[in-house]
Amino acid sequence: MEELRRAFADRYGVKEPTHIVSVPGRINLIGDHTDYNSLPVFPMALGQCVHILYRARENPLVRLVNIDPQFGPLEFALSLAVNPDPPGGWGNYVKAAGQELALQFPKLNGLEGVVESTIPIAAGLSSSSALVVAAAIALIQVNNLSLDRTDLMEMLARAEHYVGTRGGGMDQAICVGAESGTAARIDFDPLRFAPTLVPPRWRFVVANSLVRAEKSGEARDAYNLRTRECNEALQIVAAILGLEKEISSYATLLSKVEVEKILTAADQALSDTLARRFRHVVTEGVRVTQAEHAMQVGDHETFGYLMSESHRSLRDDFEVSCPELNELTEIATDAGAAGARLTGAGFGGCVIALCTDSSVGGVLESLRDNYYSRRKVEHDLIEALFVAEPGGGAEVVEL
Ligand code: GLA
């Protein structure tokens, strides 16, 4: 906080900041690449957050500086058509929030502030969605707007399409709505949010592969390609089942037809690639419900098994893993984790491994020795390897 205050004073002079907004990153425990297919996800917020220390301006200008020197200052005016920075620029996540709010609320005032993130960047832990949410919440506060929480979650998912990734609504929803000590099952269309207590002895280890998972460039193209493949597969399967009029989403398909029958139809009707994409989405949707139940009854082993099955499906059928993520999951399970999987979009980023309070020490040690030490990365391990604390959602504090 002191560093943020100093940076604020350096940049904006004597006037004091009035508020600080804090928004957590997340890990997804199970259910990846399901949200944009209107099937559920089961994420948990982290203790690590994006913070913006700010005060209101009396005009539409937004001015932000980032504590991290690799990110230059940002300045733009809120409007219905905000010009984006080049792809990959951090400012686009702030602009995404600003433009979406401007579309709904004319004559917005801007703000000036300082941004800091304790969420590792490009690690698949949703630092970018946390920034979208933080910017939106700060702008909502300075303009005294009131928005229903579910509407806000849905609006922010839409807002982030500004950066060019056709993402679903998981990240923004968990960043806004998380409750400390819980994970949440989130369903879509319409959005529903149901927290479950994380059993006190369960530990989720987060291990960063150190392969950057950027939300721009190649990973963005691969992600968007998956969204198109999933849509195409759904339409073909609905047609072969003679249900194209009734079925508009994976959720309606699963509510009308048995899983076995759906998968058999898919194998007959789809090309090899589309059949594998489709199988991942359908089986992953089923695993979310099974995993939610396993957590509710404290069934650690089943939850771990489902995580490992999910990883296999993301690796072989959805093809969004990479050798480093696979290696990390193997090291973790060999060292006694009940299960391990990549988390988030994949293409790099982190794995999570389910441990207990007694197995967690051995798993951490083995990851350190067998992954990081071999790559001679021992310095930044606090950010790369940690035990996730189930954190709360977005918060604004008046100073
Ligand atoms: C990214 C997207 C989410 C979700 C995950 C994969 O994090 O932002 O909407 O699709 O990938 O589950």
Distance CA 141, CA 69 (A): 27
30 Cα: distance to centroid of ligand 1 (angstroms)? 11
- What's 252-290 look like in SS3? HHHHHCCHHHHHHHHHHHCCHHHHHHHHHHHHHHHHHHH
By CB neighbour count within 10 A (0-12 exposed, 13-18 middle, 19+ buried), where does 5 fall?
middle
343 Cα: distance to centroid of ligand 1 (angstroms)? 9
One-letter amino acid of 366: S
Q: Which residue is closest in CA terms to ligand 1's atom 1?
A: 345
CB 129 within 8 A of CB 160: yes
Q: Which residues of 300-313 are buried (b: 16+ CB within 10 A; e: fewer)?
A: bebbbbbbbbbbeb
390 Cα: distance to centroid of ligand 1 (angstroms)? 19
Distance CA 116, CA 51 (A): 5
pLDDT at residue 88, rounded to an integer? 86
Pocket test for ligand 1, best of 29, 34, 35 (most atoms within 8 A of CB): 35
Distance CA 110, CA 13 (A): 18
* 344 Cβ below 6 A of ligand 1: yes
Listed in sequence order, the DSSP H helices in the chain are 2-12, 91-104, 127-142, 149-159, 170-177, 217-240, 250-256, 259-269, 272-296, 300-312, 323-334, 360-367, 381-384
Q: What is the pLDDT along the chain (399 residues), one digit of tens a residue?
A: 899 999 999 999 988 999 999 999 999 999 999 999 999 999 999 999 999 999 999 999 999 999 999 999 999 999 999 999 998 899 999 999 999 999 999 899 999 999 999 999 999 999 999 999 999 999 999 999 999 999 999 999 999 999 988 899 999 999 999 999 999 999 999 999 999 999 999 999 999 999 998 777 788 899 999 999 999 999 999 999 999 999 999 999 999 999 999 999 999 999 999 999 999 999 999 999 999 999 999 999 999 999 999 999 999 999 999 999 999 999 999 999 999 999 999 999 999 999 999 999 999 999 999 999 999 887 678 889 999 999 999 999 999
User: Considering 32, 35, 171, 187, which one is annotated as catalytic?
Assistant: 171
* 42 Cβ below 6 A of ligand 1: no
* 167 Cβ below 6 A of ligand 1: yes
209 Cα: distance to centroid of ligand 1 (angstroms)? 18
Nearest to 201 by CA among 291, 125, 310, 303: 303
Distance CA 341, CA 315 (A): 9
* 346 Cβ below 6 A of ligand 1: no
224 Cα: distance to centroid of ligand 1 (angstroms)? 11
* 160 Cβ below 6 A of ligand 1: no
pLDDT at residue 377, rounded to an integer? 84
**Token duo for residue 165:** 């990734």
Q: Whole-prediction pTM value?
A: 0.97
CB 290 within 8 A of CB 283: no
The atom number, within ligand 1, closest to the CA of 36 reads: 10
The atom number, within ligand 1, closest to the CA of 169 reads: 9
* 162 Cβ below 6 A of ligand 1: no
CA distances from 386 to 96, 253, 284, 302 (A): 30, 39, 26, 23
The atom number, within ligand 1, closest to the CA of 167 reads: 9
pLDDT at residue 29, rounded to an integer? 99
Q: Does 334 participate in catalysis according to the annotation?
A: no
CB count within 10 Å of CB 16 equals 11
Q: What DSSP letter does each residue of 166-200 carry, written as one string?
A: ---SHHHHHHHH--TTEEEEEETTTTEEEEEEPPT
**Token duo for residue 124:** 């698949």
Q: What DSSP letter does each residue of 56-94 carry, written as one string?
A: E-SSSEEEEEESSTTS--EEEE--SSPPPPSTT-THHHH
Nearest to 114 by CA among 177, 67, 179: 67
